[in-house]
Amino acid sequence: MTAIVNEVAALTQLGRPGLQMRWREVFKAAPPAAYTPDLLARGIAYRLQEKALGRLDPALARQLQSTGRGGRSAKTKLRPGNRLVRRWRGRTYVVDVIEEGFCYDQVTYGSLSEIATKITGTRWSGPRFFGLPK
């Protein structure tokens, strides 16, 4: 168990190239290009723990999923104070949820789709662009 703890802790010391190399070793596949170093480390850590401790029982995984969703789709409720962050084409975009709607670049918008369209220059579903569940 200590070996896994040390191995997972060591991931924080690796830069992006080191994490990509470690991903290839652990998954026997190339890492997804869009994954940030944080996501790479999380995926590697999960797989290392899974190999050492075993997989989650499928029935329990289904139960946890349905409990987390209240038995239906995972509709996200955005509340004032929430912050959405999206990295797209090498730039990070931050949107704050406020009482009046959404604040991006010090301008208030009525919908996420307006913001996604402004960022991309083409029509987008705002919730999809920001990775919110359906």
Task: Per residue of the chain (134 residues), give pLDDT as tens.
Answer: 688 889 989 999 999 999 999 999 999 999 998 899 999 999 999 999 988 888 888 888 787 777 655 444 445 688 999 999 999 899 999 999 999 999 999 999 999 999 999 999 999 899 999 988 76
Alpha helices of 11-131 — where are they, by DSSP H?
16-27, 37-53, 58-68, 112-120, 126-129
Residues 113 and 92: their CA atoms lie apart, in Å, by 17
Residues 37 and 14: their CA atoms lie apart, in Å, by 9
For the chain, the first-to-last Cα distance in angstroms comes to 38
Q: Enumerate residues 6+ apart whose C-beta is below 8 A from 108.
A: 98, 100, 101, 102
Domain end position, chosen among 16, 37, 55: 55
Count of domains for the chain: 2
Residue range(s) defining the domain that contains residue 93: 83-129
Are residues 8 and 50 located together in one domain of the fold? yes
Are residues 7 and 49 located together in one domain of the fold? yes
What predicted TM-score, i.e. pTM, was given to this entire model?
A: 0.48
Are residues 51 and 88 located together in one domain of the fold? no
Domain end position, chosen among 16, 35, 55: 55
């060591």: which residue's tokens? Answer: 10
